[in-house]
Structures are given as C-alpha cells and as structure tokens.
C-alpha cells in the first residue's frame, strides 16, 4: 500500500487527482469511490490520504470491467483519474494519515474473509454430505465406502478447526485486544482450507462436480480468491512470522 502511485495535489481548495487503479471491487457500478491517494509524494506510508470521489466527476472514468475466475456476482473494474478535481471537503480523516485507516480496515476485512470461508465451506460440505448419502455405485450409497467416508471425516475436521480459530480471532477483535496474529492466522488457514474443501467436494461429486448443474464447481471457483484477496497467503505468513519475533 505504501507504494501506491495515484497522486493528489492540493491547489485552490481542491485536490487534483491523477493515476489509475485496478482490481477495484464494485468499481463498475459504484456511485462513490473511497480512494487512497498519495498527498505527499516521498512520504512513504506517511503520505497517504483518502478522498471520496463521485461517479461522473470530470476526468474520472471506469476503464473496463475485468472478467474473473469466480465471484461473478461482484464486479471488479479498472479506474483512471486524469486531472480530476475533488473538493477538499471530500477528504476522509486527516491528510497523510490514511495508512492507519487502511491498517484498521484490513483487520476487519481479513476477519470477514475468514468468516465467509468458514460459512462457504460448511455449506459446500453439507451439500456434499447429502450427495454421498444419495448417490449410489455398486449397489450402495458411495458414502458407505471407506475412502469416501474418510474424506468426509477429514473435511468435517478441517472445517471445525477453521471455525474455532476464526471465532477465537473474532472474540479478541470484538473485545478490542490486539489480534493481528490471530486474525492473520485465521485468514491464512480458513481461506486456504476452503479451497481444499471445495476441491474435495468436486472430486466426490465426480463428473457431476465439474458441471454447472451442481454448484460445487462454483464453490471451487469462488473459494480461490480467498488466498489472494485482502492480503495473500504470503503476506499473512510474513505478518505471523514478524509477530513471532522473526
């Protein structure tokens, strides 16, 4: 975040914004954009501010809608800013203090992603459990075969472990405690396991799992964003490692 390029220069009671942004959630349909900009070019993370920019402001446009692997219900866009004039009153918080707002938001965003991953994999698991009880092969439900039964048991155990870790991080966060390490661990584990659970669900559905008719294929596509969005697995590991004094 400290290396963002979009700039905002203050002049005559306005900010003059130039630059571009990509991978912006709801960027195609939004009416207002909370935009991180560099108000001090060489200030590093100390030079970031937030401006609210309205759709239709001259010089501001949505460059294009991005086509994605999953999350088709949520649009993602590229934005461009060319000499966009924004009133100074559209500044959120203090000038050059935006980095702290970003860090505060990241904690809740990562918790929300971990919680979403837990809920998503639980729903996928329940659909898969019902399927293996009904789908028959060689004269009996496939859930009666040991290889399937063991995979289902492993899925259930991993989901419960993610739920416990995520709820623990949530309790600390709601209580106002420093939960950076716990939130990062929950996001890392839950979002990665959600991909594994969705992949197992597709496998257990066999050929049907690869078809749009059964929504486990969508679960796998949607889950794959988790280890990337809101901070990649690698970023989470870096945070956890530093919290451990490394």
Tens-place pLDDT, residues 10-65:
998 899 999 999 999 999 999 999 999 999 887 677 899 999 999 999 999 999 99
The chain-wide mean pLDDT, for the chain, equals 95
Cβ atoms 194, 223 nearer than 8 A:
yes
Q: Which domains does the chain have, with CATH numbers?
A: 7-92 (2.40.110.10), 98-243 (1.20.140.10)
Give the C-alpha separation, 44 to 48, whole Å.
8
pLDDT, tens digit, for every residue of 51-61?
999 999 999 99
Catalytic residues: 109
- Looking at residue 2, its pLDDT comes to 65
- CA dist list (Å): 129 to 13, 117, 217: 61, 18, 15
- What is the pTM (predicted TM-score) of this model? 0.90
pLDDT band at 83 (very low <50, low <70, confident <90, very high): very high
Following DSSP, what letter does each residue of 83-95 receive, concatenated? EEEEEGGGEESST
């Amino acid at each position: 975040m400290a290396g963002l390029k979009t700039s905002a220069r203050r002049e005559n009671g306005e900010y003059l914004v130039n630059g571009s942004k990509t991978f912006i959630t709801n960027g195609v349909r939004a009416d207002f954009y909370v935009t991180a900009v560099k108000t001090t070019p060489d200030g590093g993370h100390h030079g970031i501010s937030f401006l609210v920019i309205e759709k239709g402001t001259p010089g501001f446009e949505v460059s294009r809608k991005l086509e994605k692997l999953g999350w088709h219900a949520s649009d993602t866009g590229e934005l461009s800013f060319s000499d966009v004039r924004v009133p100074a009153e559209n500044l959120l918080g203090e000038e050059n203090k935006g980095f702290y707002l970003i860090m505060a938001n990241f904690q809740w965003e990562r918790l929300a992603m971990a919680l979403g991953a837990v809920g998503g994999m639980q729903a996928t698991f329940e659909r898969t459990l019902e399927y293996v009880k009904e789908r028959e092969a060689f004269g009996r439900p496939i859930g009666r075969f040991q290889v399937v039964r063991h995979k289902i048991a492993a899925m259930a155990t991993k989901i419960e472990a993610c739920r416990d870790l995520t709820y623990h991080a949530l309790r600390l966060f709601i209580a106002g405690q420093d939960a950076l390490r716990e939130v990062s661990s929950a996001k890392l584990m839950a979002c990665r396991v959600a991909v594994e659970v969705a992949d197992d669900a597709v496998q257990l559905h066999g050929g049907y799992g690869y078809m749009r008719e059964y929504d486990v294929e969508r679960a796998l596509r949607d889950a794959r964003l988790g280890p990337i969005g809101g901070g990649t697995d690698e970023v989470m590991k870096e945070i956890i490692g530093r919290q451990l004094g490394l």
